[in-house]
Amino acid sequence: MHLGLIMDGNGRWASQRRLPRAAGHLEGMKACKRVIVAAKNMGVEYLTLYVFSTENWKRPQQEVDYLMGLLAKKLPGELRFYQENNIRILFRGDVKSLPKEAQESLEKTKQETSAMNGITVILAINYGGQDEIARACSRFIEKNPGKPISIQDIQENLDLPQVPAPDLIARSAGEMRLSNFMLWDSAYAEFLSLDDLWPDWGDEQVKKCIDALSKRVRKYGGLA
């Protein structure tokens, strides 16, 4: 089972408490850890978390810098947590365009968790579904100039072609849009929106996702 989560509402969580937006992002990181452990305990094999979109660069420089700093410093600081909980971390998105310090942190995290097999957590960073499809097409064209491109060719050139498509995409903070998340492989994903702001997520919300998915009838264009 692959669960994709659009983590939204960190800013709202902070403003409700008259705190700076950064405090919401920090609390959001704690929610990530609760959600990862809950998902693993409930048998989720792949969990994709939408961390930073290709559009999030439009935010004030101070907020972008803060988020990049979290990636560069906090991510490797959690290595023990990943190893103790048997969590493998992978990345999806245009990570080569991130600040060098953040890239190094991502690479280290990926390498040092590569033997873990309790759950695979994919962090979508500088990720945009449109950007990923464009990059997949470019990769194919570079290897096969002049050839027509098929659905399978695009699939095979995505960032993580071996990862199955998400079964459910859920979003926090009550929003009901994809905001450029997994556009290609969301083709037949179920969708769920929960009102809880991301920093308030934990066991209860993960269970709601799994329960919702178990009640959906998936037909993939066929008949039930």
Write out the residues near ligand IPE by the rule CB under 6 A.
6-12, 50-53, 56, 67, 173, 177, 179, 198
Span from 6-14, 47-55, 119-127, 164-172 in contact with Mg ion (CB under 5 A):
6-14
Would you say 59 or 139 has its CB closer to ligand IPE?
59
Residue 215 CB, nearest distance to ligand IPE (Å)? 25
Distance CA 185, CA 19 (A): 36
Would you say 8 or 167 has its CB closer to Mg ion?
8
What are the C-alpha distances in Å from 151 to residues 72, 146, 184?
A: 35, 16, 10
Q: Sheet of 87-92: strands edge to edge? A: 87-92, 119-127, 46-53, 2-6, 168-171, 190-193
Residue 29 CB, nearest distance to Mg ion (Å)? 16
Residue whose C-beta lies closest to ligand IPE: 11
Query: Residue 200 interacts with Mg ion (CB under 5 A)?
Result: no
Query: Residue 8 interacts with Mg ion (CB under 5 A)?
Result: yes
Distance CA 178, CA 185 (A): 12
The C-alpha torsion from 169 through 173 and 177 to 178, rounded to 10°, is -50
Would you say 21 or 40 has its CB closer to ligand IPE?
21
State in Å, rounded, how far the first CA of the chain is from the last one.
Answer: 20
Distance CA 221, CA 224 (A): 9
Total interface residues for Mg ion by CB under 5 A: 1
Residue 11 CB, nearest distance to Mg ion (Å)? 6
Query: What are the residue numbers of the active site?
Result: 8, 56
Distance CA 1, CA 165 (A): 9
Query: Residue 131 interacts with Mg ion (CB under 5 A)?
Result: no
Span from 4-12, 48-56, 187-195, 211-219 in contact with Mg ion (CB under 5 A):
4-12
Check if the beta carbon of residue 157 is closer than 8 Å to that of residue 151. Answer: no
Would you say 66 or 140 has its CB closer to Mg ion?
66
Closest CA to 216 of 166, 178, 167: 167
Return the one option of Mg ion, ligand IPE, none that residue 186 interacts with (CB less than 5 to 8 A, by type): none
Residues within the interface to Mg ion (CB under 5 A): 8
